[in-house]
Amino acid sequence: MGVQQGTTGETYAGENAPEAELVAFPSDAEMYAAIQAGNVDALLQDLPVNIGHTEDGSFTIAEEYPTDEQYGFIMAKDGSEALVTAVNEQLATLRDNGRYQEIYDSYFAE
């Protein structure tokens, strides 16, 4: 099973599929090239990334594994106060007017 090196997916696979032969790839692109070439039978990757790779019909999501992962933005701690405020304000606006959910559903709903 292909995993991306140094990710929570690699850790999850090691802990939850000890019988699997894991192949760690340094990048997402190398991982997907490996499955296309038949070098691995399956991949474990974040669902949003996998959804993006299914859009052309070359791949299908066979299983989803619920985890407690959450995603967020990261910015420099010092000197980014105005940017953090602007991003937070825009996210709040998008949530309030329903556009955030529309965008989310268009990219992450199956």
**Helix ranges, 1-110 (H):** 8-16, 28-36, 47-54, 81-96, 99-108
pLDDT of amino acid 110: 60
pLDDT of amino acid 102: 92
pTM of the model: 0.68
CATH of domain 2-54: 3.40.190.10
For residue 6, pLDDT over 90 is answered with yes
Distance CA 34, CA 56 (A): 17
- Pick 21 or 58 by higher pLDDT: 21
Q: Give the residue range(s) of CATH 3.40.190.10 domains in the chain.
A: 2-54
φ/ψ (deg, to 5) at 98: 85, -5
- pLDDT, tens digit, for every residue of 21-42? 999 999 999 999 999 999 999 9
